[in-house]
Structure 1
Amino acid sequence: MSGKIFGSVCICCTVIAIVIFLVPATTALVFYHENTNKIEAFLPLETGDTFQFIFTHSIHLTDVVETYEVTDDLEIKQNEIAYEHFGIGMPSNAGEGEKFTYEDGKYRISKLDNIFSSINIRNGKTVSRNRLIWGNEGENLIWFNQYFDPGAWFKVKIKRITLWEYIRGVRIYEGR
C-alpha cells in the first residue's frame, strides 16, 4: 500500500511541477535583458489592453508618446505616436490609411497599423525620463528608472508567462 501512495505522491508532484514550470499562467508585457531570455520585469496585460511608452527626445527634450495595443495573436500593435517637434526620428507626415493632425501643440499620427513581435527599447542614459503608462485612461504610470538602470536596453514582447516566471520575476508596479 505504501508503494501506491508513494507513486501517487510522485505523480502529483510531477503534475504540480509541470504546471508551475511549463503551463502559461498569464499574459504579460515582458522586458528581456538585452537580447537574452532573462526576464528583467513584466507587466500583466490581456489582449486588447493598451499601454504607452513615453520617452524624452534627446535633441528637443520634449516627450514622444507611442501608444500600443496587445493583439489577439500576442503581438504589439502601434496605434498612435504624438510629439511636439519634427526632427531626427520623428515622422513628418502620415502614411496611407493613417491620420495626421496637429492639436494642443502636438503632432499626432493615428490609425497606425504597425505590428511588432518585439520592440527594442533603451532607457535613456543622458536624458533618462522614460515612462510606461497603462490602465483605463492611463491611470498607472511608472518611470523606467524605478526598474531599470539608465542606458539599459531591452527586448520587449507580449508573452504568456508561466507561474514560475511570474513568481520569480519583478512585476511592474509592485511598489518598487
Structure 2
Amino acid sequence: MGKQKKLAWLAAVCCACMVTAACMIPYMPAVVFKKEDSDDVMAFLPLQKEKTFDIIYTHSIHKTKVAETYVWENGVIRQTALVYHDPAVGMPANAEQGEKLIITDGTYTLSNMKRTFPYIDMRIGRVRANHRLKYKGKEYELKRYIPPGSWTRMSVQKINVLQQLKGVEING
C-alpha cells in the first residue's frame, strides 16, 4: 500500500473516531424516560428554553385528575405545584413549611413546593391513569410512546445522539 493510501486510510479512521466520539457527548436537555433503572432510553422530550413541564394523570383510587408541575434546575427535578381533587390516599391533606395550599371549588392547589428529585419512578397506566406529559401548552399521552404497564424512570438530563436514536422522540 502506498504512502498516500495509508494516509487516506488513517484520515478516514480518525474522522470515524471523531464522529463516534461526537455522538457520545450529551448536549440536548430532555425529559427522559428510561426502562426501569437501566440506561435504555424508551422515550424523550427535548426541552428548549422553557424548563417547566407537567405530568398529568387520573388517580387510580380517587379517579380524579392530578397535575404535578416540575422545573428542571441545577441538574435536578424540582416539584413546584400539585393540583388535585381529593386529599385522601396518596394526596397531601395540608401544606408543608413554606408551601401554600388553596382550596377552591373542591380543587386543591399546593404551590411554592421545593421538593427535589434526581429522578421519578413511575408505571405507565394500562387502564385509566392516562399519564400525560404537558410541555409548552401541548399534552402528550405517554402510552403512545411507552408501552402501558411499563415501569419507567423519568429524569431530566442532557442526552447524546446515540440515546436519541435508541429512544422515541415525544412530539405532536
TM norm structure 1: 0.89
Contact kept? 2:71, 2:77, Cα under 8 Å: yes
Shift in CA distance, 91/171, structure 1 to aligned 2, threshold 3 Å:
same
Q: Distance in 2 between matches of 1:95 and 1:117?
A: 20
What amino acid sits opposite 1:156 in the alignment?
Answer: M
1:154 maps to which residue? 152
Q: Distance in 2 between matches of 1:117 and 1:148?
A: 21
After TM superposition, the structure 1 stretch with the greater mean CA deviation from structure 2, 46-55 or 88-97, is 46-55
2:162 is matched with: 164
Match of 2:61 among 47, 59, 62: 59
Deviations along 1:28-78, whole A, 9 cap, x unmatched? 11101112211110111147511111111112211011000011x221110
Deviation at 1:168, TM superposition (A): 3.0
**Equivalences for residues 1-176 of structure 1 within 5 A:** 1-20=4-23, 22-46=24-48, 49-71=51-73, 73-135=74-136, 139-173=137-171, 175=172
CA-based RMSD: 1.6
Aligned length: 169
Consecutive unaligned residues of structure 1, counting only runs of 5 or more, are none
Unaligned 5+ runs, structure 2: none
TM-score normalised by L of structure 2? 0.91
In 2: Cα distance, 1:112 partner to 1:87 partner: 19
Per the TM alignment, residue 27 of structure 1 is displaced from its structure 2 partner at its CA by 1.0
Contact in 2 for aligned 1:48/1:70 (Cα 8 Å): no
